[in-house]
């Protein structure tokens, strides 16, 4: 692999996320969910982020994908600072960065068909309705879905099928970065494996090549799937490295406990 001199797809610097308390600006009730986190993600790489519930994983990725405002720090996607992007600019950025959510069924509009949801991004980037539909059917096939499911509503398909459709939707705009926030947590073990294998296969294909930011609290899955892993604890990165090294020889106290608890 020619890893030399590659620009990172995503660079996160000192990213800090603060939830304001109930009564707005009162600093006493503010809660720092993500505390000066920095990392880089290389093209084609799969980076895992693990940590217990409440450690700030979702807050972190929501700030990266601009569903939340960062209190401090910056997010640089493909050389472009997107920390404060909004409106039209942001919509352009969403063609480079996509996300797969935890609950597949909830991530599709209950009153719209799967192919409609998959094609939405394509139509928004100027494709005609018919072309978008054809392309969404191609994507469904790519993600191992029967094209007959195109006209189904989200409640008419299984969770695993719905998550495949969500991956198809995320890949429709050919993003450079795919964020999976616990994309497999709501599925049962065998389906989890299928989804992981699908992501792995799509990632290694030349044409669809993209980096993955994989949020998970299942260390075994991360070990199987990720090239590198960050351990998040109370909003800070406590350990970083190759998953095998971390699991076999954790340096940090918290990581030790986390691994002992899970394995």
Partner 1 sequence: MKEYTIRTQKIKKNTVKLRLIIFGSLAVILLLCSVFSEHLTPYDPYLQDLSCAKAPPSAAHWFGTDRYGRDMLSRVIAGSRASIYSTLLLVLIITVIGTCVGVFCGWYGRWIDTVLMRISDMFLAFPGLVFALAVAGVLGGGLQNAIIALTAISWPKYARIARSQTLAQKEMTYFKAARLSGSSTLKIIIRHLLPNIIGPILVTSMLDIGTMMMELAGLSFLGLGAKPPTAEWGSMMSDARSLLTTVPWVTLSPGIAIFISVMIFNLLGDTIRDYADPKSRR
Sign of CA dihedral 209, 81, 238, 185: negative
- Residue 26 phi/psi, 5° resolution? -60, 115
- Residue 125 phi/psi, 5° resolution? -100, 20
Residue 125 binds: one of Mg ion, ligand ATP, partner 1, none (C-beta under 5 to 8 A by kind): partner 1
What mask, x for binding ligand ATP by CB under 6 A, covers residues 3 to 42?
Answer: ----------------x-----------x-x---------
Do residues 220 and 189 make contact, with C-beta atoms less than 8 angstroms apart? no
- Residue 170 phi/psi, 5° resolution? -65, -35
Judged by CB under 6 A, the chain residues 60 through 119 that form the site for ligand ATP are: none
Question: Count of CB atoms within 10 A of residue 24's CB?
Answer: 8
By CB under 5 A, name the one of 58, 83, 136, 255 that touches Mg ion.
58
Residue 55 binds: one of ligand ATP, partner 1, Mg ion, none (C-beta under 5 to 8 A by kind): ligand ATP
Q: 6 vs 90, which CB is nearer to partner 1?
A: 90
- Binding span for Mg ion by CB under 5 A among 51-59, 60-68, 85-93, 118-126: 51-59
The DSSP output letter for 2 is -
Q: 102 vs 224, which CB is nearer to partner 1?
A: 102
Rounded Cα distance between 114 and 205, Å, is: 24
Rounded Cα distance between 37 and 237, Å, is: 6
- Binding span for ligand ATP by CB under 6 A among 55-63, 107-115, 133-141, 156-164: 55-63
Residue count at the site for ligand ATP (CB under 6 A)?
12
- Residue ranges that bind ligand ATP, judged by CB under 6 A: 19, 31, 33, 51, 53-59, 217
């Amino acid at each position: 692999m020619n890893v030399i001199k590659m620009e990172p797809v995503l660079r996160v610097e000192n990213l800090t996320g603060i939830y304001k308390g109930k009564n707005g600006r009162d600093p006493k009730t503010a809660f720092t969910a993500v505390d000066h986190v920095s990392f880089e993600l290389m093209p084609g790489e799969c980076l895992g982020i693990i940590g217990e519930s409440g450690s700030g994983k979702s807050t972190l990725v929501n700030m990266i994908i601009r569903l939340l405002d960062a209190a401090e720090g910056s997010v640089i996607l493909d050389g472009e600072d997107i920390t404060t992007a909004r409106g039209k600019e942001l919509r352009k950025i969403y063609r480079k960065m996509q996300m797969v959510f935890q609950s597949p069924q909830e991530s599709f509009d209950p009153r719209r068909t799967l192919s409609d949801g998959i094609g939405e991004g394509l139509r928004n980037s100027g494709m005609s309705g018919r072309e978008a539909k054809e392309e969404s059917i191609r994507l469904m096939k790519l993600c191992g879905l029967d094209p007959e499911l195109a006209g189904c509503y989200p409640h008419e398909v299984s969770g695993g099928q719905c998550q495949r459709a969500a991956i198809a939707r995320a890949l429709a705009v050919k993003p450079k970065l795919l964020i999976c926030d616990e994309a497999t947590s709501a599925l049962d073990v065998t389906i989890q494996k299928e989804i992981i294998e699908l992501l792995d296969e799509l990632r290694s294909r030349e044409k669809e090549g993209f980096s993955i930011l994989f949020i998970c609290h299942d260390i075994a899955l991360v070990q199987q799937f990720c090239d590198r892993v960050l351990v998040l604890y109370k909003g800070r990165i406590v350990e970083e490295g190759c998953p095998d090294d971390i699991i076999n020889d954790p340096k940090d106290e918290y990581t030790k406990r986390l691994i002992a608890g899970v394995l």
